[in-house]
Structure 1
Amino acid sequence: MKEHLSRRNLIRFGAGALGAGILAEELGSELISPQPAVAENNISPDEALQKLIDGNRRFLFREQKKPNRSYARLLQVANGQKPFASILSCADSRVPAEMLFDQGFGDLFVCRVAGNVATPEEIASLEYGAYKLGTKVIMVMGHKRCGAVTAAMTDGDFPGHISTLISAIKPAVKNVKGKYGDALENACKENALLQIKTLMTSPVLAKFVEDKKLKIVAGYYDLDTGKVSLVA
């Protein structure tokens, strides 16, 4: 009986050691020599936009694939990135782009600022995304009940640099004044469209759009449902 148990344990130990050895070898190869970044942006602007739409649809219907979120993927893109899309979104904590579009490490080049305003720094970042990284679509994404847009609809004074953001949103509020529908929602959507006009003053981005290498669109995120809809 002792001999039988000894042999059985030895076999178990051997199998476990073999499995651990294989695992260690796989992990070791990942840690020592991670693969280069995958070319996620070898697609057209229309295909890139469709990837965003499809990802949000999966999120909306609780069918997320949660791609590219593994430790292996983290290592894969550690030394280089080739995101297929750029997102200019609000800094609001309820608007996490990678989750909303069901993407992962290295997929999205995200710029976040209150009111999704196209400041000079945000424009420069998006230029870098298109020119250097090869993003194929930029989505300016406003969202429901945006605090920055709400503030812009008031006549109050704001301390520090907050007023600079509010001033950039004020024209959108003015444009939709008296328009049918919810005033705040109209202003949020109009603000996204106006920020696109600001982005198009960039010679870099305008040239990419002209050459059909880049598409710039406006989106609107519904906090209550999780849906991102395109704004025309």
Structure 2
Amino acid sequence: MTLNRRSFLFRSGLNAFGLAAALPFIHPAKAEAAAPSSKESARSCRPKDPLTALIDGNARFADAWQAKNKATDLNERAQVMSNLWLDHCFLPASVLEESQSPWASIISCADSRVAPEWIFDAAAGDLFVVRSAGNTPFDEGIASLEFGVEVLKTPLILVLGHSNCGAVRAARANHSLTPLFDQLIKPIQANLVPGDTLMSAIKTNAQATAEQLTTRSDVLANAVQAGQLQIKAGYFDIASGKVSIL
């Protein structure tokens, strides 16, 4: 059986570093992405199903993320992780310079371990990303999402919480840092349920943010009502690299 470029490079790297056990977890490239036409545009790489594309991209990332833990040093881990992005639908800079057509919007935490393009194995031009500590629904962030939906026609918004979120932890502890930080965590505190674990609080906060997007924005509510927009909440587990849709 002929190996594609991703499989060949990954297998070569894994054999070299004694990591062949990770091979069964390698996923094929994104099959649902539209093939670029002779005249490429910013929409040339839009998948048919954005949510499935996110889930599949995260599966590829999580497999590599876990496989690299079998490595014994920095170079070996880099070799395993470098096999992501090999088979993407990459657009030339000349196309991206003129316009963008992201196929999903992400509102995620500003945490350095939670880079949406990374954990969804996405390319430049794929994701429209809004970030703040605790993935809170702040006004400017909602306005940015409105731009993504109204102007860029993004069909999906995912609110992404993550394990061990420092902002949610601070909200639970009622930890005051600065006046602006206190303002930031107020929406998180409003979503807390007495007795909840940190994980439950993080998931509840992500779900509450997702629900608030349509109550605070007519643009987003109308797009959902018209069937032009899906809004979902998710949870990223840093240890496994996996995102679960809530």
TM-score, shorter chain, exceeding 0.5: yes
Structure with a larger share of its residues in helix? 1
- TM-superposed deviation, 1:97: 0.5
In the alignment, the residues of structure 2 paired with residue 67 and residue 133 of structure 1 have an alpha-carbon distance, to the nearest angstrom, of 25
Contact 1:85 1:107 in 2 (8 A): yes
> Which position in structure 1 is the counterpart of 2:167?
148
Other structure's SS at 2:161 match: strand
Other structure's SS at 1:75 match: helix
> Which position in structure 2 is the counterpart of 1:106?
125
In the alignment, the residues of structure 1 paired with residue 143 and residue 87 of structure 2 have an alpha-carbon distance, to the nearest angstrom, of 28
In the alignment, the residues of structure 2 paired with residue 160 and residue 88 of structure 1 have an alpha-carbon distance, to the nearest angstrom, of 23
Structure 1 portions without partners, runs of 5+ = 1-33
Q: CA offsets, 1:79-108, max 9 Å, x none? A: 100000000000001001111111111000
> Which position in structure 1 is the counterpart of 2:43?
38
- TM-superposed deviation, 1:155: 2.7
Greater C-alpha Rg: 1
Structure 2 portions without partners, runs of 5+ = 1-38, 65-82
Contact 2:45 2:89 in 1 (8 A): no
Which of 71, 87, 108 is matched with 2:106 structurally? Answer: 87
Contact 2:47 2:53 in 1 (8 A): no
> Which position in structure 1 is the counterpart of 2:58?
56
The amino acid that maps onto 1:51 is A
In the alignment, the residues of structure 2 paired with residue 93 and residue 211 of structure 1 have an alpha-carbon distance, to the nearest angstrom, of 35
In the alignment, the residues of structure 1 paired with residue 179 and residue 89 of structure 2 have an alpha-carbon distance, to the nearest angstrom, of 38
Contact 2:134 2:188 in 1 (8 A): yes
Q: CA offsets, 1:86-143, max 9 Å, x none? A: 0000000100111111111100000011100011100000011011001110000000
* Match status 1:178 vs 2:195: yes
Percentage of matched positions with identical amino acids: 41
